[in-house]
Structure 1
Amino acid sequence: MDKFISYEGLPINYGGAHSLGKKTALENYNQTVQFLNRFADTNKASQIEVVFYQSEKKEYNTFKLMAKLILKFGIPKFNNDGLLKSWSWIFSENEIEKGFETLKLNAELSENSKGFIALSFLWNFSFIDPKTNQILPNQEKIPELDFRIKNSRIYLRISNKSSISVWLALPFEKLGKFEVEYINELKCHLPFKPSEKHWRIWKKSEKGNWIPNKIEIKNVV
């Protein structure tokens, strides 16, 4: 494979994740799963996590709430990114409902820049043709440009301010009728409005390096 097409909504830490507006937690989750049901070979999350953040300005009793969460979910993992301490729990598919119940505590807490309690989902998947349900060929040949990011992935973070970060890697070496129609249909079903500026076609150089170029899918016929 010498070419492939990608769409990237940058990681949240870089400020490039797509905002999901005022939709409810369940709406955001359900719309993402509906997209996966149509275009992906799985809708099962690779990781489900609940994160509780300390109060930035000590506007709520962090450790009092922590005690409640520990009684409910057990001992958490402690995280310290140097700005705001947090505690996290990994959930199973069977515990998703408990995760949504926990989000209701946000209504009782004062605002944090990162939220207070966040429920996040990470999906890794391969694309399928929704007309045949067959996996698109050659996805295993797409290079992993970053060892931390597997092709393809969606990261959904649900809190008072929800967002979604994606890396979509499509095994298309050209933009013929099938490829353009597929991408345009995919864009219509994404749980957010994609930016036309984030599409890239990657080409492998003679030296083996992968070089991206912007591409406007809507103008290709």
Structure 2
Amino acid sequence: MTAQEWRPLMAVTYDGLPLSSGGAHGLGRMSIREAHSRTLDFIAACTSVAAPSSQSIGYSPVPNLPESPELRASMNRQFGDTHRDVLLAEREIESALSFLEEIDPQPRNEWGMVPIAFLRTWKIAILNPSTGEPYPGQLSTPYSGLGYDGGLTLRLSADASLRIEFAIPEIDDVGLRALVPHLQAHAPFRFSPKHWRRWSSTPRGRFVARKIDPM
């Protein structure tokens, strides 16, 4: 390919939020049920799910918090071995949500950490609000090098949080101005203006990024 024929690959990404910012968007004072329901509503309105969700519940020791034999025994009765995360079938999600409600409030340490958490993860593609179809190329190989796999993870414990990341290829500023309000209208959290990037490839196949604020 000649220099005249070369055309950069471009994509816009959102990473909400990086580990340095807490790892996920907090969902405020939502109940367990509301956080789960609002997440499902967002998925239905704004995404295409690329694979069935995966979900787990687990008991983890918490710094500066005494072991809770009662909680561990409850986990054992409900889900089996709690010395590791227990993978759940989709039909078991309702039982897990009910269990979290039964044990609420859990004992906390001084940083608000609790022993038991439920996680549910989806692989997603973002929908174009103008067509109702996924933006093309989101899960394709040329963009996999960006490290944004199109993922959504809901964590339910003492508090609820939601982590989301995606890469949308070849979307221009006009398309982005249409997309972002649509996402925000359905999301159970506030998108951060600080975690959007526009990426372009170089002739050597690397991607370089610059911050953008489409909010």
Same fold, judged at TM 0.5 (above): yes
Which of 69, 77, 81 is matched with 1:75 structurally?
Answer: 81
Extract unaligned runs of 5+ from structure 2. 1-7
Q: Which amino acid aligns with 1:27?
A: E
Tell me the residue number matched to 2:116.
117
Q: Which amino acid aligns with 1:136?
A: Y
Listed one character per residue, the Cα deviations across residues 172-199 of structure 1 (whole Å, up to 9, x for unaligned) are: 34212x3321222112221100111111
Which of 146, 165, 168 is matched with 1:167 structurally?
Answer: 165
Identity of aligned residues (%): 24
| 8 Å CA contact 2:129, 2:182 repeated in 1 | no
Listed one character per residue, the Cα deviations across residues 95-123 of structure 1 (whole Å, up to 9, x for unaligned) are: 11111122135435421343221111111
Distance 1:43 1:139 in 2: 11
TM-score scaled by structure 2?
0.83
Alignment of 1:26 with 2:33, yes or no, is yes
SS at match of 2:104: helix
Extract unaligned runs of 5+ from structure 1. 79-86
Q: CA deviation at 1:131?
A: 4.8
Tell me the residue number matched to 1:208.
205
Tell me the residue number matched to 1:133.
132
Tell me the residue number matched to 1:81.
none
Q: How many residues align?
A: 205
Distance 2:171 2:212 in 1: 13
Distance 1:58 1:175 in 2: 49
Listed one character per residue, the Cα deviations across residues 4-54 of structure 1 (whole Å, up to 9, x for unaligned) are: 001111355762421111111111111111111011113975311112123
1:138-217 equivalence runs, <5 A? 138-141=137-140, 143-145=143-145, 150=149, 152-176=150-174, 178-217=175-214
TM-score scaled by structure 1?
0.81
Closer, same or farther in 2 for the Cα pair 1:12/1:194, shift >3 Å?
Answer: same
Alignment of 1:56 with 2:63, yes or no, is yes
